[in-house]
Amino acid sequence: MILYDTPSPAPNPRRVRMFAAEKGINLPLQPVSLMAREHKSAEHLARNPLGQAPVLELDDGTTISESVAICRYLEAAYPEIPLFGVSALEIAQIEMWIRRTEFTLGGPVRNYWVNVHPFTAQVVPERFEEFGNANVPHAMAAMGVFDAALTHSKFIAGEGISMADIVLLSTIDFAAFIGLAMPESLTNLRRWHDDMSARPSARA
């Protein structure tokens, strides 16, 4: 297998690297330069017609895109140390928090990134700055929801680390990178963030 990868702060490839690190999977990486627009090359578009990373290429040439889909494949192929849950309730709760992160936090963060951040001005021909800024309170409100959920549990979906924590960490760290850092008042989320950031997988 080969993972076509882009380095941090890109959140989606980081999810896959963290997931593989938590499970002890040796996943060879092939860098794809966004600055050089390698993700839009004909070679990469043949792997993923959306021109995005990450992409997992299997030994037979089959490719899988989308970070959570890649991690679900790896979970099925390497079931030890399950990160998507075992019981019906665990599986459902982990999926619930993945979806909440992607929609309630990831959506506003992406909207701000595309429409406001100076970097994207180089590649997005038409931006709507007022709309981008309007997403900031939605992102902060979502972080408050995660803070409340962490009042009585060590991890976002319970007492054990899961894919939901990996998705949340990559999203929160990317939000901070673009200027949407979590409020100081969210002490539960900050405790969780410190714990997650101390794990070796966070440096993957």
Query: Where exactly are the structural domains of the chain?
Result: 2-77, 88-203
CA distance 137 to 182: 11
- For residue 153, give the nearest of 81, 93, 203, 111 by alpha carbon: 93
Residue 60 has pLDDT above 90, yes or no: yes
- Is-same-fold flag (2-77; 88-203)? no
Considering the four listed CATH numbers 3.90.960.10, 3.40.30.10, 3.40.50.880, 3.30.420.40, the one that applies to the domain covering 2-77 is 3.40.30.10
- The reported pLDDT for the residue numbered 87 is 97
- Give residue 188's pLDDT: 98
| CATH code given to domain 88-203 | 1.20.1050.10
Q: How far apart are CA 22 and CA 127, in angstroms?
A: 38
Q: What is the CA radius of gyration of the chain?
A: 17
**The pLDDT of residue 97:** 98
Is residue 116 over pLDDT 90? Answer: yes
The Cα 30–Cα 4 span in angstroms is 5
pLDDT, tens digit, 9 for 90 and up, residues 151-196: 999 999 999 999 999 999 999 999 999 999 999 999 999 999 999 9
Contact 169, 197 (CB under 8 A): yes
pLDDT tens figures, 12-52 = 999 999 999 999 999 999 999 887 888 989 999 999 999 99
Distance CA 12, CA 5 (A): 9
Tell me, what DSSP letter sits at residue 159? S
Q: Do residues 66 and 73 lie in contact, with contact meaning Cβ atoms separated by under 8 Å?
A: no
- pLDDT score for 123: 77
139, 105 Cβ separation under 8 angstroms = yes
Average pLDDT in the 195-203 region? 98
CB 80 within 8 A of CB 86: no
